Amino acid sequence: MSSIHSRDVLIRGLRLGLEATLTAHKEKILVASHGLDGELWYPSKDIYLPRRYSANDIEGKSICREALKRRLGFRSGSSIIVGCICDGYSDIHNLKEAVHVALCKSAQVIFMEKLGSVVNSTVRALKEEVKFINLDDDIAFVEGYNETFAHLIYAGSDIILCSSFEDPSLQIAVKAIKYGCAPVQINFPNDGSRQSEGRDCRNRVMSKYIISTYGEFSLLQALDSFKNDPSSRDQQIKDGMVKVLAWDAECYELHWEAYSSLRKL
């Protein structure tokens, strides 16, 4: 099947009374992830940005960053922006800890609900959890998903929080890298390590790159690297923006592999 979700998430989420059966035979389920729409999610072509940019012409990202600050009412300046499009799989306590770390490092933080305005909103719950923190207008919450605004969040942020690098579609992490952000996972494997194996991820090349480059990075380390070694961080960001272009081709190959296997049955 083709999905933006992992095999385990699909098995748990079908809610058709088939979870036990599908779990027992999950090795027979092949999930081929969607690629990204190259016309829609591409900073050099993005119609929603105040200024388009690329790895070879990165100036537009600074303009997008300032545009995001103005829209959110953040103070202008050199503060790092940490963005998060909440996908419903992020642990609320890990998100709360991320807020503490970011604000202690004088970063500015934006959370947007990916699923729209819902009763069990992650953003609403997080907003309630951190309401006693002295925020000083350095954090913003958007409870309803807005596609246009989401593009500006990716373009204007320096760091994007991801629920996990175990997600086989890597949609949030890939968008982050494509838009010149450092992806940082906040949910980690059960063994407590930060390093994921990408074992359920069919997009092997991109998964290995993300895990090898960012798998050991905590939010604190990412924030420190932007402050202490900006030239190396900038080069890593540009390298990633170029490398991610091969991801759609890999998705196509996975779909063709799955289709060919079905024809042989």
Render pLDDT for 160-197 as a digit per residue (tens, 0 to 9).
999 877 655 568 888 999 999 999 998 755 444 444 44
Instruction: State whether 74 and 8 are in the same domain.
Output: no
Cross-strand partners of 185: 162
Predicted confidence at residue 195, as pLDDT, reads: 46
Q: Tens digit of pLDDT for each residue in 54-76?
A: 999 999 999 999 999 999 999 88
Do 206 and 240 share a domain, yes or no?
Answer: yes
Q: Residue type at 59?
A: E
Specify the pLDDT at position 198.
Answer: 43
CA 247 – CA 141 distance, rounded (Å): 31
Question: 84 forms bridges with which residues in the sheet?
Answer: 111
Q: Are residues 16 and 64 in the same domain?
A: no
Whether the CB-CB separation of 32 and 259 falls below 8 Å is answered with no
Q: What is the pLDDT of residue 15?
A: 58
Identify whether residues 9 and 110 lie together within a single domain.
no
| CATH for 87 | 3.40.50.2000
Sheet holding 182-185, edge to edge: 139-142, 108-113, 81-86, 159-162, 182-185
Query: Is 22 found in the same domain as 109?
Result: no
CA distance 80 to 106: 8
How do the pLDDT tens digits run along the chain, 265 residues long?
445 555 666 666 655 677 777 777 776 666 655 556 667 889 999 999 999 999 999 999 999 999 999 999 998 888 899 999 987 777 888 898 999 999 999 999 999 987 655 545 778 788 887 776 666 678 998 888 899 999 999 999 999 999 877 655 568 888 999 999 999 998 755 444 444 444 444 456 777 888 889 988 899 999 999 999 999 999 999 999 988 655 566 666 666 776 777 677 6
pLDDT, position 49: 97
Same domain membership, residue 70 and residue 48: yes
Query: What domain range includes position 20?
Result: 1-31
- The reply to whether 81 and 176 lie within a common domain is yes
Kindly state whether residues 24 and 39 are assigned to the same domain: no
* Residues 73 and 43 placed together within one structural domain of the fold: yes
Q: Are residues 140 and 218 in the same domain?
A: yes
